[in-house]
Amino acid sequence: MKPEHKASALNRLKTVRGHIEGVIRMVEDEKYCPDIMKQVSALEGSLEGVNRILLQNHIETCVVHHVKDGRSEQVVDELMETLRYSPVKG
């Protein structure tokens, strides 16, 4: 993994970890459900951001190497599989 992508993914994941702890406290304290749902939605967005970083890293590293090695068909299959885990947003 490229160092800049690793640092970015880890930073986001550590932020998510803290955010999850806050949401757990909200549930324990029986806060207003829509407020909790809003925070869960924000967490989902943060995790999607991590997936985008991982996808970018994958394309910049593994995909490039596989194409150079003449394994383009495998790359396409793999990318199609990978995109199942990363919603495409316009």
DSSP 37-70: HHHHHHHHHHHHHHHHHHHHHHIIIIIHHHHHTT
Q: What integer pLDDT is reported at residue 88 of this predicted model?
A: 59
CATH of domain 3-83: 1.20.58.1000
pTM for the whole structure:
0.83
Q: In degrees rounded to 5, what are phi and psi of residue 83? A: -65, -20
In tens digits, the chain (90 residues) has pLDDT values of 999 999 999 999 999 999 999 999 999 999 999 999 999 999 999 999 999 999 999 999 989 999 999 998 888 888 888 888 776 554
